[in-house]
């Protein structure tokens, strides 16, 4: 079993797109029945990437308050990825859910275990930006954290805060892996190239060897409610995501 948390300090950097697209790419390599995604972001957007458009269906938030087993609430998708949406919830449900998460630090790991997904399952978890009870849960049970960055000064500026957080966590979870992933790289932009160079110097081998280029197919795929690999299989972003998924599978197997 491999649990992968997708996180960032900033919003809008591509966490949800990357979670969905990587999950679909990993599923296309590993085959059906292996990959699940969990949406732990109250924005409740992840399921859109998989064509699950019935937006009033409840999900992890509401169902967890009723102590449902995740195995029974995961929705199959046509992309061989089982999807647990956050659910639309109301403010009271969200608050009750967040209180539950604050009270039970190992709740997420326990739910994943209870779902009985099998030893060779891969679970990717999408999170809201910045510190939250959701992120704490992911830090408590993940095998690896993928930190999504844009190749810009704004993302660069968030690294010290993320690093100090990872430092704190490493006392509790010395085995927790972490890697930075660059998204929306535009190699025709000198500034983007400079930031990539700077990040390579700063992060060394903790920067994933493959970045995801800026590619409008990523946004278009969401409009068509598909992972980019299904929408534009031969495009630049699909190529990057496919390579990144191979790298990730190898990293998890090491
Ligand atoms: N590689 C990319 N190329 C072009 N647009 C992208 C790329 N990755 C994400 N986007 C777009 O950026 C926006 C934010 O992405 P999203 O995944 O919702 O970020 P987050 O979950 O971090 O808030 C979306 O409109 C998405 O389509
Ligand atoms: Mg998101």
Q: What lines the ligand 1 site, CB under 6 Å?
A: 8, 11-17, 183-184, 212, 214-216, 218-219, 222, 237
Which domains occur in the chain, in start order? 2-253 (3.40.50.300)
Q: What is the pLDDT of residue 53?
A: 76
List the residue whose alpha carbon is closest to atom 12 of ligand 1. Answer: 14
- Of 15, 17, 183, best ligand 1 pocket probe by most atoms within 8 Å of the beta carbon: 17
List the residue whose alpha carbon is closest to atom 6 of ligand 1. Answer: 218
Which CA distances in Å does 202 have to 27, 125, 175? 32, 26, 22
Proximal ligand: closest to the CA of 217: 1
Distance (Å) from CA 208 to ligand 1 centroid: 18
Q: What is the pLDDT of residue 126?
A: 98
Q: What is the pLDDT of residue 67?
A: 87
Q: What is the pLDDT of residue 191?
A: 86
Proximal ligand: closest to the CA of 41: 2
Which ligand 1 atom is at minimum distance from the Cα of 12? 23
Q: 10 Å Cβ neighbour count for 32?
A: 12
Residue ranges near ligand 2 (ion) with Cβ within 5 Å: 15-16
Residue ranges for the chain with pLDDT beneath 50: none
Q: pLDDT digit string (tens) for 71-87?
A: 999 999 999 999 999 99
Distance in angstroms (rounded) separating the CA atoms of residues 57 and 37: 16
State the residue for tokens 């599923």. Answer: 27
List the residue whose alpha carbon is closest to atom 10 of ligand 1. Answer: 14
Distance in angstroms (rounded) separating the CA atoms of residues 113 and 14: 28
116: which DSSP letter?
T
Which ligand 1 atom is at minimum distance from the Cα of 213? 1
- Of 50, 214, 219, 229, best ligand 1 pocket probe by most atoms within 8 Å of the beta carbon: 219
Distance (Å) from CA 155 to ligand 2 centroid: 15
Q: In what order do the strands lie in the sheet with 212-213?
A: 81-84, 35-39, 122-126, 2-7, 144-150, 177-185, 212-213
């Amino acid at each position: 079993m491999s649990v992968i948390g997708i996180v960032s300090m900033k919003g809008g950097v591509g966490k949800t797109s990357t979670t969905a697209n990587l999950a679909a790419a990993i599923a296309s390599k590993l085959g059906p029945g292996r990959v699940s995604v969990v949406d732990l972001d109250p924005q409740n957007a992840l399921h859109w990437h998989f064509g699950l458009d019935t937006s009033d269906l409840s999900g992890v938030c509401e169902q967890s308050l009723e102590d449902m087993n995740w195995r029974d609430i995961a929705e199959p998708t046509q992309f061989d990825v089982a999807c647990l949406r956050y659910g639309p919830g109301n403010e009271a449900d969200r608050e009750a859910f967040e209180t539950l998460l604050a009270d039970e630090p190992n709740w997420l790991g326990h739910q994943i275990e209870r779902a009985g997904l099998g030893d060779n399952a891969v679970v990717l978890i999408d999170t809201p930006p910045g510190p939250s009870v959701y992120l704490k849960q992911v830090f408590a049970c993940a095998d690896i954290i993928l930190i999504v960055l844009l190749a810009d000064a704004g993302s660069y500026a968030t690294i010290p805060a993320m690093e100090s957080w990872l430092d704190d966590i490493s006392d509790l979870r010395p085995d927790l892996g972490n890697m930075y992933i660059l998204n929306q790289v535009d190699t025709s932009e000198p500034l983007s190239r400079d930031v990539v160079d700077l990040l390579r110097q700063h992060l060394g081998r903790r920067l994933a060897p493959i970045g995801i280029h800026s590619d409008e197919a990523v946004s278009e795929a969401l409009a068509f409610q598909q992972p980019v690999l299904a929408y534009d299989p031969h495009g630049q972003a699909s190529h990057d995501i496919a390579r990144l998924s191979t790298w990730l599978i190898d990293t998890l197997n090491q």
